[in-house]
Every structure is written in C-alpha cells, then in structure tokens.
Structure 1
Amino acid sequence: MSVNGDSLTALALGLLQGPGSNARTILGLVGPPAAGKSTLARHLVAEVERVEGPGSAAYVPLDGFHLSGAQLRRLGLTHRKGAPETFDAHGYVALLHRIAGDRFRDVYVPDFDRTLDEPVAARHVVRPHTRLVITEGNYLASTDAPWPEARRLLRELWYVDTDDALREERLLRRHRDIGRDEATARDWVAGNDHPNGEYVKTGRPRCTRTVTGSGLPAAPNRGSVP
C-alpha cells in the first residue's frame, strides 16, 4: 500500500456512512514497532478532514501513555521501555471511554515526543464535532487486561503488516536519531523491540483486516513542535 492509500481512505470514510452515521466512531490500528501505524493514522486523519472538513477526524496515539523516564526508573523498567508494562494502559482506556461518550467538550490527547524521549500532554484534541477518531498502538489486540476493554470501544481494528527487515531499518534509524550509537541501537532492537514485536504479532487473528505498511515512509521524528 502506498501512502496515497485511496482504498484505505475509502474504507475509513465508509465507517461514517449508514445508520448512526452521526455517532462518533473509533478506528484502531495495531502492529509491531515501526510498522507505519502513526504514519497511516495521520494520513487517514488528513484525508478524512479533506473530505469531511476540519476537525471531522482526530488522532489518538497510545504512545502518549508511555510512562515517563522518572516513572520507569522508579519501577526499574527503563530497560523495557516500549513493553506493555511501560504504558499507562488504564489511563489510555479511560481516555477512550471519554472520547466515546463525551460529545460536548474538547478532549485533549497526549503524545510521545521522540526528541525529548518523553510523553507530552495535550498535543492533540478531539473536538465535539469529531466523528472519526483514529487511535494506534502496539497492544490494541492483546488479550491481557485492560487491552480487551479498549478493543470493545473500537468499531474496527486494522493490523498494519510490514516486512521485519524494513521495520528493523526504521527502528535502527529511530534509535540513532535519539543519540544511540550503532551497537547500542542494535542491542536495543534485538533485546527489546524484537520481543515486543513478536508479542504484538500474536494479536493479528483478532483484527478486522490486515493492511500493508511496507510502502509507507518512516514517520518523522516528532519534536517539541507538532
């Protein structure tokens, strides 16, 4: 699939048609690290807004619920950053419940800043008139609590499948961009990103459909300016 994925845009727009079309719909994207989830989510949000108008779609990344460096150090989990236990999963589920049920207020959404290597508050917003929310993250298809509760709030969940070699290339670039040397980057990919990715793959059968992320460019390194 290319980044101009017109067929996927059509599928996303199709979620806004039919009975209950004025209701808010949440579409989930799941896949292993560096599969292209955030790039696809942002592309779909932009395309839906181009057709339906500004604010009609919104982006909600799970990565905004990364535990901060201070909390990872407190818990002794710095070496496992990115694993399921290094997210505020219950906070993420609570936000999805609010997004699903609150159509009268702006709902602010955190993000993860790869330059700071820390979560940041309120980078994104779901407006009262937003009809399609696209959320993405590694663990949305997991059967471990509380992820199934998040899954129940999603209209559909798409698995973003990308060749492992391409994902590794993207991951190495990501780690080099935050200052890790080549050996450290490769050790991190092998010892942390790889096992996390293998865990994510087990959820593929629980997804609505599989889409290909190999043609997507690597997501830009999101700095302090959105």
Structure 2
Amino acid sequence: MSVPKQQAASMFVDFERDAWRALRASTPLLLDAAEVESLRGLGEQLDLKEVEDVYLPLSRLLNLHVAAAQSLWTAQQAFLGGFTQRVPFVIGIAGSVAVGKSTTARILQALLSRWPDHPHVELVTTDGFLFPNRVLTERGLMLRKGFPESYDRRALVRFLAEIKSGRAEVSAPVYSHLVYDIVPGEFLSIRRPDILILEGLNVLQTGPVEGGKMPHTFLSDFFDFSIYVDAHEQDIRRWYVDRFLRLRETAFRDERSFFRRFAELTEEQATARALSVWAEINGPNLVQNIAPTRSRARLILLKGSDHKVRRVRMRKT
C-alpha cells in the first residue's frame, strides 16, 4: 500500500487512491448496484468499486466530523445548562458544471443517512437560488447564468443562517432543469436535518458579487466541512459536450424543455453548439470564479479523464 504524499509547504495531505481506499477500515457498504445506478449522473462512470474506494472512506471521515460536532454540542449544553438547540452539520460541495458534484452529493447523502447517529440527511442545490429568468433577462444576465451575480445571494445566505439558527422548518426554492427556470410557488421544506448538504458552482466563493461589493458574510461561514470536485478543464469540457449530446437524445426532446430547439440538431451541430456554450459561459465561469476557490475546500476529489477519482487532497488542519 502506498502512503500519503506530504509536502512541507502545502496545507494539504495528498492520498493516491489505494492509500485513501485503506481508510475505509471496516465501514460497511450498504448500497447495492441498483441504488448506485439510480444516483449516477448522466455519462458518469460511477460503480460500486468507486463507492467502496472513494466515498466510503469519505463518509467515514465525515461521520467522525459530525460525531465531534455533536460531542462539542453536548459539552456546550452542559456549560450553558441545556440552553441551545442542536443545529445541522452543513457540508458544502463545489465544482464545475459537468464535473460530477451532483452525483457526489447524492452518493454522500445516501451513505451518510445510513449511519445510525445521523440518519436525517437533506440535499439542497444552489440552482433554486438563481434569479428567475425574468429577472436575469431584465438585468442582461441570461448569458451569465451560473455566474455569481446570477444568484440571489441574500436569499441563499438567509437560508443558511436560518438552518444554522436551528429553525424548525426552512424553505428553499425549487429549480427545474427541464424548463431552465425557478418553479413558481414550489418550495423544498427542510426540517432540522442532522446533516445538510449544499451543492453548487460557487459555494466557496469569497469575491465581490452584486455591484462589485464585497459581501459581509460568505456562504462558507456556515459550512462545517467543504468538498471541491476537481478535474482538468479539457476533461470537464469533453464531459460537458458528451452530456449535451446525450440530453439532445433524451430530455431536450420533451416538448416542455427550454432546450427543445437543440433536439433537432445534427451531432456535428450539437457538438459545435456545446463547445460554443462552454467557451462563452461555462469555461470562463470555471476559470474566473469556480477554480480559484479550490484551495478553500477542506477536501478535494481529483478525477482522471475516465471520470473516476484518482487522488484525494485533504487539508491538514
């Protein structure tokens, strides 16, 4: 077995896959192949082996962090005389479009909910906090959808603040990828979970947002643990194009789809369109806003060209 690589000047400890796999210890695998298949994103190569090697050790690590937070809360209760309500442990997951962060979030939700001391695990995506298309159009931001300024940051910060205040029920807006917009009047109700996973492109961002102003509060201020799903840009671009072509054969054919007009494109036309969207929107967003937040994560999952995690980087403190 190889040992983790350490560099004196780095804040991280690097684990090759076999060294990371060993950290699973005796953690049982409680998912079967059918469940993994249902959680896998379009075009990803996720299987039981990937779950065993990568996500089981990660779920064990997260369980240790949650247990430590719960122990600290118990000690604080003794100090304060039973004054405070226990609040959810919040995990932030960041990464580019098409890198697989949504699948990572779903797998972790499934695994963490099977630990007996924190069975209630909720998953929320930041897509629900995008401004409605009407607002984006008014502000000239439709071609910058996914950039930091396209989100209702105040609503997102307020949502996390309410979660961390221990409110009995907090609501999150619902986004439809089919119609490419917020669903009016629909909300996801979050009722004091043990763990909340928040997944999104820019959840680790600390730069200026609306009007070039620096925010007083960052989303990451509410995180107890954060994960960045990483890969080389050329691989992510290829995955994005492959996904676009698959959607052209599936979801885009739905009459309700915002992208219905792309369903009739030839494969060559669809490829050119996907590459254009990447060059104009997703690529610049990755380079300018998403990738610079990588080093702020507590843990980085680095994928190879086959979409499988090859290396794990974990912050030392």
Query: TM-score under structure 1 normalisation?
Result: 0.83
How far residue 3 of structure 1 moved from its aligned partner, in angstroms, is 4.0
SS for the counterpart of 2:218 is helix
Task: Describe the shift of the 1:163–1:13 C-alpha distance in structure 2 as closer, same or farther (beyond 3 A).
Answer: same
Q: Percent identity between the aligned chains?
A: 24
In structure 2, list runs of 5 or more residues that go unmatched.
Answer: 1-16, 18-49, 75-85, 208-213, 253-258, 263-269, 310-317
CA contact (8 A) 1:59 1:124 kept: no
Q: Does 1:215 align with 2:308?
A: yes
Q: Distance in 2 between matches of 1:140 and 1:131?
A: 20
Which aligned pairs between 1:7-46 and structure 2 lie closer than 5 A?
Answer: 7-18=57-68, 19=71, 20=73, 22-46=86-110
CA contact (8 A) 1:30 1:37 kept: yes
Q: Does 1:193 align with 2:282?
A: yes
How far residue 123 of structure 1 moved from its aligned partner, in angstroms, is 5.4
How far residue 204 of structure 1 moved from its aligned partner, in angstroms, is 1.4
How far residue 174 of structure 1 moved from its aligned partner, in angstroms, is 4.3
1:168 paired residue number: 237
2:168 paired residue number: 104
In structure 1, list runs of 5 or more residues that go unmatched.
Answer: 217-226
Give per-residue Cα distances to partners, 1:173-212, cap 9 Å, x unaligned. 4444244333222111111100101121111122212123
SS for the counterpart of 1:146 is coil
2:205 paired residue number: 142
How far residue 38 of structure 1 moved from its aligned partner, in angstroms, is 1.2
1:221 paired residue number: none
How far residue 52 of structure 1 moved from its aligned partner, in angstroms, is 3.2
Task: Describe the shift of the 1:35–1:133 C-alpha distance in structure 2 as closer, same or farther (beyond 3 A).
Answer: same
Tell me which of 186, 191, 194 is aligned to 1:127.
Answer: 191
How far residue 72 of structure 1 moved from its aligned partner, in angstroms, is 1.3
How far residue 115 of structure 1 moved from its aligned partner, in angstroms, is 1.1
How far residue 109 of structure 1 moved from its aligned partner, in angstroms, is 2.2
SS for the counterpart of 1:52 is coil
Which aligned pairs between 1:72-87 and structure 2 lie closer than 5 A?
Answer: 72-87=136-151
2:56 paired residue number: 6
Q: Distance in 2 between matches of 1:109 and 1:3?
A: 29
How far residue 152 of structure 1 moved from its aligned partner, in angstroms, is 0.8
Q: Does 1:115 align with 2:181?
A: no
CA contact (8 A) 1:89 1:147 kept: no
Q: Distance in 2 between matches of 1:116 and 1:3?
A: 32
Which of these two proteins has the greater Rg computed from alpha carbons? 2
SS for the counterpart of 1:50 is coil
Q: Does 1:63 align with 2:127?
A: yes
Paired residue type of 2:297 = C
Task: Describe the shift of the 1:122–1:102 C-alpha distance in structure 2 as closer, same or farther (beyond 3 A).
Answer: farther
CA contact (8 A) 2:88 2:166 kept: no
Paired residue type of 1:91 = A
Give per-residue Cα distances to partners, 1:2-37, cap 9 Å, x unaligned. 244111111222222022275421111111222211
Task: Describe the shift of the 1:38–1:74 C-alpha distance in structure 2 as closer, same or farther (beyond 3 A).
Answer: same
SS for the counterpart of 1:151 is helix
CA contact (8 A) 2:109 2:122 kept: yes
Say how many residue pairs are matched.
214
Task: Describe the shift of the 1:147–1:158 C-alpha distance in structure 2 as closer, same or farther (beyond 3 A).
Answer: farther
SS for the counterpart of 1:158 is strand
